[in-house]
Structure 1
């Protein structure tokens, strides 16, 4: 349950994602179930307890938060934190499932043999399987209502002169623009930026029935009359300089010149101009010369009238950036920026946005932080950052990137009572197997229900589970119950004696049961169940066996054995599926086999020599990359992991992260 609800704005919300003011000739643009959105906005943002998970470096205002956008904004507003710049790259409603490749690490014993043989590690030889990170599959109306609520929450914690950039693609971008107009005001719209993220080739190239899709849409809004605006420029290319300008060395610097035409220009009626004693005939009109003057080029007329001041080439601002960004490309597979995170954006893109719309020490926030590029670039440019995401892989990715940058930050987690595994999508995929006897796609039971249980006494019992991907469904309230008893139960084509309704949060259980009793016109019994109890009972922590030795002023922790039930299940599923596919194709399948020690399932080990409980403090840590090399406290090396980690002080706790991102903490007695 939320501790309380925080108002989106000081006054009651007026307006919603209905957009009745936009009238079509045949219909009014209206979003389904908008009344529920309005009720949630009136109620306010749910404010949950927030736990500090880890402090990295010195205390600072930089935050990494695991939680949903609205809940994160509630926390920031309650703490009185206002942001100066927001960049968000939310799901695009693209209809695509995003997955990450999970690579097994080298067994330390095998890696040592390879090192002895002086054989280079090749990632093509590695074993990996894929895990779904999130499903970007939405009904349009659901997506827009969800986005509208998020934008309202973000607006509530922005400074009066703040800026926001919303990054979408052509699937949903035009609707996003309408929402931005309503939430932030049409008068505050500055630019529709077209980002040409790649050349039209490969999967971006022209298809059998469409042009190459290479452009994303970024909508830029700036609040207030004193918002930050730092114009951006592109360097003049050598081709442009050679074509349009000549220059002369003087005093060790280069003066920029306009192109000089040959003798005879003056006799044809063209003005005669002189540059720092270098004379020539110019074919430019007086208007053209005025333009050159406005650009700061050193020009003097034949009459001796000076048109501008001295200007050096190395001081020229360059070509102004327009709203077509065709000079920033997506992160290539071979780029040093690559962190193997789906939807990763290039640092150059965020550099331009952050430099344009913020100054040093200002707060830059990203509420769908993903790979953490916004936080990394903000830190590099001397800004404060707030990175938020609901997926644990996002939190770990940005944490590791910032550790490598020697940044200071605090990691916090919104305690909404749900163990979401690594992300909501994986939890939803798992739920059907967690509810005993549940069958999906039961005849007579609509998709509103997750499925149904076949009870020997009651017959078919439909089961409702809130969609954890859609934060709007996490709270069970009267509008939801009203829909269930007065719509969904009555629409069942079976005679259900009972339905089970799972919930994450519940508005007022006593009041809801009273409402059901007074308003349920059917003979169907409605049983309410707490989904958190089910989730908590299913989590099995990874197991770690280790030994510690002391000598030569340091402590050595040796990892003897690592067991992960969750990973083993995933690998078994992968092997079974792969073997079946191979049989059908008449091919041989090479399964993933785990060694007895299981050390190839470990990605990161951290030692806490400061705290025996509470928030984590990483005194020292190692991360093993997919090539098997060790990263020591953010510093890359060419060392193979030997199954050990050392520290100057005795460790009080050990944290191990497996290759899928699950973390386990073991106390050292």
Structure 2
């Protein structure tokens, strides 16, 4: 249950109606459903600190939050934290499913043999399979309600000088633009940025959609904006055809004020009288510095040097930033990853150093990583554990920059305790939930609202509702939502049920909901309410590991070595077995090479950390290693060309061990 609800907007002044700014201009089915939630406010949940990196005080200014956008905004508003710039790259309602490639790591024994032979594995030699990260499959109306609620929440935590950039594409962008006009005001719309993210599509049936749009709004007229300059094109540079003896290129400039608003300075200079744009003393100084030249007819012109110009002010058409290709150094194999150059331009334009930059659909963590490099504070928020792990590892491993020294990384990893124990991400959690409801099956003609039906000898066909964890509007069961179930979804069933099962994550007051159903009298079916958290508790089955700790002596300095003797993950093995079965079916009798895991199972490990500080509570990563897909070790964020030997070392005795398998699940053991 939420601790309380936080208003979406500041409290209204006396005499002002609370919902004056919630009048909907975009009319579509269900667009009034959001009204009750906006009146109720953002749910505030307990926040747990999972990990802290660097200086504890500085780490409080940089947050990596696992949870939903609305709940994160409730926390920020409760803490009085205002953000200065927001960039979000939310789902595009494109109908696409996004997956990540999961690479099987090398058995340390094989890695040792490769090292002795001074060989390296090629990418083509690696064994891998695909795992679904999230599905961008939305009903348009639900998507727009979801976006409206998120945008209102985000606006609630924006400072008066803040800006917001919303990254979308042609599927839904034009609808969201109208929502943003309503929420942020048409007068605060600044640009529709067109980013050419790909070259021409040779397979396009019509005109290829090779661009995204980024909608840029400000909170007010006083928003921060720094002009970004780009290099001049060759056509413009060709204008600089004059050259000084020292090789400097220049073009002819006009020193007169003719045609300029505001007038100029009327005087005679070197026998030439006109209205000048510079005072006499300035023009004379320019002449002494050799910045004036005389034309054949006696006129005076200025020299405009190419090397003194800042560049062309950036326009709203961005064709000079390439998408992250397969060979890019910054590529981290994360679906929907955006290039750092894109975020660098946005962050430099709409924030100054030490300002707070937020991304509430953080994904690969590019916003946080670039903000940190540019000496800004950051907030990264996402519901997927892979996103949190990716940005965590990315921040730790950041390269040195003039303002960023390796190791000088300060941030906190937080988790919103909203009762939803997600398994990796909402999509995979929903798939597992359906398998945990005894007897649940599909039924032809049943709408997507229902998870399925249970066939009961006593009650016949029983429809079952599971809250969609991908959609925050389904999280809380209240009277408006219950009314929709009674009057819309029950009425659309292809049969008349005698019993209905409704699972919920949170409920305002279950006895109040039961009384509401009883008083409604629109159905004779018995409504049975069940707490979804009882199912969620059964989703995460921990991995198993066998390990031993020994004290060693390295260059006269005592160290501890924790060796992983064996590791097993039922969850990952189910994926691998399913992959092998699918390949065998598709092979059509031809030989194929299945993925085979060694008896020790160490190929299933991606990352290991030991806590030498505490036996419980917040995690302290006193020593950690990450095994990349080629088998090389990244030690405490620093890449090496060493192969993993199956162990991890620490200066002091380990108290806890944490292992992340190749799919992203993490399990903790006491040592």
Distance 2:599 2:89 in 1: 42
Deviation of the 1:13 alpha carbon: 3.2
Deviation of the 1:491 alpha carbon: 2.6
Aligned pair partner of 1:41 in 35, 38, 41: 38
Q: Paired residue for 1:341?
A: 334
Aligned pair partner of 2:565 in 560, 566, 571: 560
Aligned pair partner of 1:607 in 607, 610, 617: 610
Q: Paired residue for 1:453?
A: 454
> What RMSD in Å do the two structures reach over aligned CA positions?
2.2
Deviation of the 1:259 alpha carbon: 7.5
1:341-490, aligned counterparts within 5 Å? 341-405=334-398, 406=407, 407-440=409-442, 442-443=443-444, 445-490=446-491
Deviation of the 1:346 alpha carbon: 0.3
> Residues 167 and 216 of structure 1 are in contact (CA less than 8 Å); yes or no, is this contact kept in structure 2?
yes
Deviation of the 1:480 alpha carbon: 1.7
Structure 1 residues 632 and 243, CA, compared in 2 at 3 Å: closer, same or farther?
Answer: same
Structure 1 residues 391 and 246, CA, compared in 2 at 3 Å: closer, same or farther?
Answer: farther
Deviation of the 1:428 alpha carbon: 1.3
1:575-586, aligned counterparts within 5 Å? 575-583=580-588, 586=589
User: Number of matched residues?
Assistant: 618
Please give the secondary structure, in 2, of the residue aligned with 1:178.
Answer: helix
> Residues 250 and 305 of structure 2 are in contact (CA less than 8 Å); yes or no, is this contact kept in structure 1?
no
Q: Paired residue for 2:544?
A: 543
Q: Paired residue for 2:135?
A: 135
Distance 1:248 1:333 in 2: 45
> Residues 654 and 666 of structure 1 are in contact (CA less than 8 Å); yes or no, is this contact kept in structure 2?
yes
1:217-256, aligned counterparts within 5 Å? 217-236=213-232, 240-242=236-238, 244-248=240-244, 250=246, 255-256=248-249
Please give the secondary structure, in 1, of the residue aligned with 2:32.
Answer: helix
Segment drifting more, 336-345 vs 483-492: 483-492
> Residues 50 and 414 of structure 1 are in contact (CA less than 8 Å); yes or no, is this contact kept in structure 2?
yes
Aligned pair partner of 1:664 in 660, 664, 667: 667
Residue-by-residue CA offset, 1:212-266 (whole Å, 9 max, x unaligned): 221110111123232211111112356753454443354xxx6431289xxxxxx
Aligned pair partner of 1:216 in 212, 217, 221: 212
Segment drifting more, 489-498 vs 235-244: 235-244
Structure 1 residues 241 and 564, CA, compared in 2 at 3 Å: closer, same or farther?
Answer: same
Please give the secondary structure, in 1, of the residue aligned with 2:597.
Answer: coil
Structure 1 residues 609 and 239, CA, compared in 2 at 3 Å: closer, same or farther?
Answer: farther
Deviation of the 1:459 alpha carbon: 1.3
Residue-by-residue CA offset, 1:323-379 (whole Å, 9 max, x unaligned): 100000100100001000000000000000000010000000000111001001100
Deviation of the 1:391 alpha carbon: 0.6
Segment drifting more, 213-222 vs 10-19: 10-19
Q: Paired residue for 2:49?
A: 52
Deviation of the 1:461 alpha carbon: 0.7
Distance 1:570 1:321 in 2: 47
Distance 1:436 1:249 in 2: 87
Deviation of the 1:574 alpha carbon: 1.5
Distance 2:291 2:67 in 1: 56
Alignment of 1:587 onto 2:587? no
Distance 2:204 2:165 in 1: 33
Structure 1 residues 246 and 431, CA, compared in 2 at 3 Å: closer, same or farther?
Answer: farther
1:217-296, aligned counterparts within 5 Å? 217-236=213-232, 240-242=236-238, 244-248=240-244, 250=246, 255-258=248-251
Q: Paired residue for 1:93?
A: 93
Distance 1:520 1:110 in 2: 69
Alignment of 1:622 onto 2:625? yes
Distance 1:479 1:230 in 2: 46
Q: Paired residue for 2:404?
A: none
Distance 1:591 1:530 in 2: 41
Distance 2:32 2:579 in 1: 44
Distance 1:535 1:226 in 2: 46
Deviation of the 1:655 alpha carbon: 0.9
Structure 1 residues 453 and 409, CA, compared in 2 at 3 Å: closer, same or farther?
Answer: same
Distance 1:398 1:304 in 2: 64
Residue-by-residue CA offset, 1:414-450 (whole Å, 9 max, x unaligned): 011111100001111222211111001x145332211
Aligned pair partner of 2:313 in 316, 320, 323: 320
Structure 1 residues 554 and 306, CA, compared in 2 at 3 Å: closer, same or farther?
Answer: farther
Distance 1:436 1:589 in 2: 36
Please give the secondary structure, in 1, of the residue aligned with 2:315.
Answer: coil
Distance 2:75 2:241 in 1: 55
> Residues 433 and 539 of structure 2 are in contact (CA less than 8 Å); yes or no, is this contact kept in structure 1?
no
Please give the secondary structure, in 1, of the residue aligned with 2:144.
Answer: helix
Please give the secondary structure, in 1, of the residue aligned with 2:354.
Answer: coil
Q: Which 5+ residue runs of structure 1 have no aligned equivalent?
A: 20-28, 261-285, 288-292
Residue-by-residue CA offset, 1:37-89 (whole Å, 9 max, x unaligned): 00000000000000000001112201100110100000000000000000011
Structure 1 residues 307 and 7, CA, compared in 2 at 3 Å: closer, same or farther?
Answer: farther
Segment drifting more, 297-306 vs 610-619: 297-306
Deviation of the 1:305 alpha carbon: 7.1
Alignment of 1:570 onto 2:593? no
Aligned pair partner of 1:648 in 627, 634, 651: 651
Deviation of the 1:495 alpha carbon: 3.0
> Residues 563 and 646 of structure 2 are in contact (CA less than 8 Å); yes or no, is this contact kept in structure 1?
yes
Distance 1:447 1:211 in 2: 33
Q: Paired residue for 1:290?
A: none
Distance 1:13 1:5 in 2: 16
Structure 1 residues 99 and 298, CA, compared in 2 at 3 Å: closer, same or farther?
Answer: farther
Residue-by-residue CA offset, 1:85-113 (whole Å, 9 max, x unaligned): 00011000011000101111001111111
Distance 2:291 2:501 in 1: 80
Q: Normalising to structure 2: TM-score of the pair? A: 0.89
Please give the secondary structure, in 2, of the residue aligned with 1:231.
Answer: coil
Q: Normalising to structure 1: TM-score of the pair? A: 0.89
Distance 2:298 2:623 in 1: 70
> Residues 257 and 298 of structure 1 are in contact (CA less than 8 Å); yes or no, is this contact kept in structure 2?
no
